[in-house]
Amino acid sequence: MSLPEFWFLLIAVLWTGYFVLEGFDFGVGTLLPAVAKNDQERRVAINTIGPVWDGNEVWLLTAGGATFAAFPEWYASLFSGFYLPLLVILVGLIVRGVAFEYRSKHDDARWRSRWDLCIIVGSIIPAFGWGVAFGAILHGVPLDADHEYAGSVLDLISPYSVLGGFTTLAVFAFHGATFLGLKADGAVRLRANQWSRRLGPLALGLGGSFLLWTQVEHGRDATWLTLTLAAGGLALGVVANARGREGWAFIGTAASILMTAVTLFWALFPDVLPSSIDASYSLTVDNAASGSYTLEVMSWVAVLFVPVVLLYQGWSYWVFRRRVGGPRQTSQTNSTSPAATGPSSTASESAEA
């Protein structure tokens, strides 16, 4: 494996980790008004992601920094053509992050409701926007012979990229619902499991359509396997949730997002930004990469520090592994009893983010 190929693989891993971990954050924010009917319940829902949401966003920052250093031409052309969509996504992420920090700074119902709205909108925008962006990248963008973006923002919109946006929105919402079913307690947990049952078939339908379209237009023989595994993960999430196995439902949605990302990057390789004008104008892992010395130094840094970061984040998830408590229902159905939660059932606790 050459150094440019190694860095393409590492960037793909970073984006995959971001979608798997930040995906349930987006899902929780998107479903906030559906699963939480009062301030106490909203606090429970937010507290499930309170200790981890900002750590999950580090994957995005690292992926962006790695792209800038390892593939400067890819970074430059991408941000030239996708400037407005990426700016909208960035604003959504900023507003969402500020809302998490500020909603509890003032004891006023209207104050908190406004920040809750920011959480909802700030979760929906990137959940939809990332699907559109990656759909547009895989579909191809107007790059000229100098590898410069030669189109407008409308060239990024196509039926395929829009389907990608609705797919990520639905799958992340389903992922967030399974996460809430695993991490929350009381009424929030009950509603999350109800929404999981509603969102599962929708996510499976949209995800299956998007993956099949991807395979037909951009796939290769090997991606049939990853496509099948991605669809199987969603199916596992649907079946496990219907049987009250909350832990396995979350494993299924996480595995589906992981294998979907693998499918997309595998279908993209060796291009990093295909040209819709002429295939010879496309940016590839070779013509977009930095010099060998830069990549060599970066590789040593990555080998030394990436395992440390992974161990630290794994430890933080272990520390905050318990359920976040809320007002319990007087009657529990078999499908939501603690005995039926799968491999991750734990005791209830209440914690402020």
CATH class in words for 3-326: mainly alpha
> Average of pLDDT values for 5-24?
94
pLDDT at 94 over 60: yes
> Average of pLDDT values for 63-82?
92
Q: 72, 97, 88, 195: which is closest to 132 by C-alpha?
A: 88
- Whole-prediction pTM value? 0.87
Please state, as a whole number, how many other Cβ atoms lie within 10 Å of the Cβ of residue 295. Answer: 19
Q: What is the pLDDT of residue 330?
A: 39
Binned at pLDDT 50, 70 and 90, residue 326 comes out as: low
Binned at pLDDT 50, 70 and 90, residue 306 comes out as: confident
> Average of pLDDT values for 98-127?
91
pLDDT at 203 over 60: yes
Cβ 156 vs Cβ 137: under 8 Å: no
Helix axis angle for 83-102 and 53-70, nearest 10°, is 150
Better-predicted residue by pLDDT, 220 or 334: 220
Q: String of b and e for 135-171 (b: at least 16 CB within 10 Å)?
A: bbbbbbbbbeeebebbeeeebbebebbebbbbbbbbb
Q: What is the mean pLDDT of the chain?
A: 88
Q: Where are the domains of the chain?
A: 3-326
Q: What is the pLDDT of residue 67?
A: 93
